[in-house]
């Protein structure tokens, strides 16, 4: 039985059973991602992420990069034995074996990314969500140089200036940034069929009256 330890990015919330066919046990489960709950809970929580605040206050450009096949380019430090599934045997390429969901893949990818950035001494902040990256720096030219070097190391997709991230829309203003969830809310209303509903000024009805029947709650804040 393996649990997430304090060395991980965030505290454990559940216990999971991870098994390998070679009986190896790993005491460290690592996820190089920003907390999804913090980023999607509200627009204000996302605004207070360190990378976005620095870029907005200093009026630095915010750039977004998506690494292609990030879990396939990490360097593994141990030997792992695998074989092709019985129904997918390829006699021409018997050595083409790699599990995209390998449990060591996230840590191996993060270690390679950290090694890549540690070779440069520059003032840059980076927000990593698995294979989605947001870069901000006091030198726009360094962002372009860094993206060019990343592209020579592994395949990436340059999405240009930051516009959308995890359901949030980023709008640039003369004073900074405006974060909006308009598209995210629109997609939810479309999914549940409420796009044609009539809007109301209040979240609850103002014509309902409360009755004093029954016993009061011992804790009215519940």
Phi-psi region of 100 (alpha: psi -120 to 50; beta: other; left: phi over 0): alpha
CA distances from 15 to 5, 29, 87 (A): 10, 11, 33
Q: Each residue of 115-145: pLDDT tens digit?
A: 877 665 567 788 888 888 888 887 788 888 8
**Which residues are CB-neighbours of 150 under 8 A, at least 6 positions away?**
65, 67, 116, 156
Average pLDDT for 40-53: 54
Lowest-pLDDT choice from 26-35, 101-110, 170-179: 26-35
pLDDT band at 26 (very low <50, low <70, confident <90, very high): very low
Most confident of 18-32, 103-117, 204-218: 103-117
Six-digit token pair at 73? 């380019």
Distance in angstroms (rounded) separating the CA atoms of residues 168 and 177:
12
Other CB atoms within 10 Å distance of the CB of residue 115: 10
Segment 135-183, tens digit of pLDDT = 888 778 888 888 888 888 888 888 888 888 877 888 888 888 888 888 8
pTM (2 d.p.): 0.43
Tell me what the mean pLDDT of segment 7-22 comes to.
42
The per-residue pLDDT for range 58-99, each reduced to its tens digit, is 788 888 888 888 888 888 888 877 777 777 778 888 777 656
Mean pLDDT, residues 13-21: 41
- Give the number of other CB atoms < 10 A from CB of residue 168: 21
pLDDT given for residue 99 in this prediction: 63
The token pair at 175 is 């004073």
Least confident of 34-43, 142-151, 197-206: 34-43
CA distance 107 to 71: 9
What pLDDT, on the 0 to 100 scale, is given for residue 23? 44
Asked if 72 and 98 count as a contact pair (C-beta separation under 8 A), the reply is yes
């Amino acid at each position: 039985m393996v649990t997430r330890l304090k060395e991980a990015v965030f505290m454990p919330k559940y216990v999971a059973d991870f098994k390998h066919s070679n009986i190896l046990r790993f005491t460290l489960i690592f996820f190089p991602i920003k907390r999804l709950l913090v980023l999607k809970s509200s627009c204000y929580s996302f605004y207070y992420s360190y990378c976005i605040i620095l870029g907005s206050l200093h009026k630095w450009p915010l750039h977004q990069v998506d690494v292609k096949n990030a879990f396939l380019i990490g360097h593994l430090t141990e030997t792992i034995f695998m074989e092709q599934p019985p129904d997918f045997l390829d006699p021409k390429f018997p050595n083409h074996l790699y599990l995209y969901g390998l449990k060591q893949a996230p840590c191996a990818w993060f270690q390679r990314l950290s090694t890549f950035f540690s070779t440069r001494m520059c003032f840059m902040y980076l927000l990593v969500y698995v294979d989605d990256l947001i870069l901000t720096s006091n030198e726009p030219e360094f962002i372009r140089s860094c993206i060019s070097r990343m592209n020579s190391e592994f395949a990436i997709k340059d999405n240009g200036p930051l516009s959308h991230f995890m359901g949030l829309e980023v709008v640039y203003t003369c004073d900074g940034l405006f974060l909006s969830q308009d598209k995210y809310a629109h997609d939810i209303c479309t999914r549940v069929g409420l796009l044609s509903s009539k809007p109301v000024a209040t979240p609850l009805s103002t014509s309902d009256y409360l009755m004093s029947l029954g016993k009061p709650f011992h804790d009215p804040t519940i």
